[in-house]
Chain A
């Protein structure tokens, strides 16, 4: 199965230090589920500012964990929530984004196991 996370940046950033990488990955695994829940509850309650804020906060972490396929999605989610445009597309985008994050979290959890 093809990997969806690319840890090249994180590895370079940590200077190959496995403990440091483990620390960053553990933090992501701790923060990401909360962010996804915030995004979902915000969308359900049509709180688009909340959705934009949660997406905005999670965006750099997605980049650091090398989840390339999720980057355009989170940018689009932030943009559409901010401009309140194409709102009908948001649930589908969020479902796809959530799926990618769950898969990435599985990979990352295996990485530090």
Chain B
């Protein structure tokens, strides 16, 4: 869990938000922030959340409130690396597909298994983060090796041109 320091829960249903916060609070190293609207979430993006659990519907906030899809788009604009997991009471496949199209990492239906699924999603995101970090490390190592090899060729060429080494080292 060390890779995840900050999680946002954005939901206008206080009970859902509180239950998810309680469920995830067993991971004491993670700082969990709860917001009742998308606007509040966007104002606090400076806290650099790695994961946002975002409700799809914000009907209870008011008619002018941003809906989940609008918030998802804004989050992805502001912080493309932040993973957004959509939460909804709807189990319609087209809603899920639509959220994925706009960059949601996963879609969870609000029911009794939602909390366990949220935990699994966090584990999957951590696995992905580890793989990304490893890939970055290998890329850097490959680059370093390439530079070292190139430097060696250049050095040999310089030494050769100055006669410090010859094509016949006289070893035999």
Least CB separation from A78: chain B residue: B89
Residues in A whose Cβ lies below 8 Å from that of B60: 53, 57
State in angstroms the CA–CA spacing of A35 and B13 once bound together: 11
State in angstroms the CA–CA spacing of A56 and B90 once bound together: 8
Question: Is B14 part of the binding interface, using a Cβ–Cβ cutoff of 8 Å?
Answer: yes
Q: Give the interface segment out of B1-9, B17-25, B129-137, B160-168.
A: B17-25
State in angstroms the CA–CA spacing of A59 and B59 once bound together: 14
State in angstroms the CA–CA spacing of A53 and B62 once bound together: 10
Closest CB in chain B relative to A51 CB, distance in Å: 11
Residues in A whose Cβ lies below 8 Å from that of B13: 57, 60-61
**How many chain B residues touch A (Cβ–Cβ < 8 Å)?**
19
Partner of A13, one of B19, B59, B110, B111: B19
Interface-central residue, B14, B60, B114, by most chain A CB under 10 Å: B60
**How many chain A residues touch B (Cβ–Cβ < 8 Å)?**
17
Question: Is B107 part of the binding interface, using a Cβ–Cβ cutoff of 8 Å?
Answer: no
Least CB separation from A28: chain B residue: B15
Residues in B whose Cβ lies below 8 Å from that of A23: 18
9 A-B pairs besides A13-B23, A31-B15, A57-B59 with CB distance below 8 A are: A13-B115, A23-B18, A56-B89, A57-B12, A60-B15, A60-B89, A63-B111, A64-B15, A64-B112
Which residues of chain B have a CB within 8 Å of any CB of chain A?
A: 12-16, 18-19, 22-23, 57, 59-60, 89-90, 110-112, 114-115
Which residues of chain A have a CB within 8 Å of any CB of chain B?
A: 9, 13, 20, 23-24, 27-28, 31, 53-54, 56-57, 59-61, 63-64
A-B contact pairs, 22 of them (CB 8 A): A13-B19, A13-B23, A13-B115, A23-B18, A24-B15, A27-B14, A27-B15, A31-B14, A53-B57, A54-B59, A56-B59, A57-B60, A60-B13, A60-B15, A60-B89, A60-B110, A60-B111, A61-B13, A61-B16, A63-B112, A64-B15, A64-B112
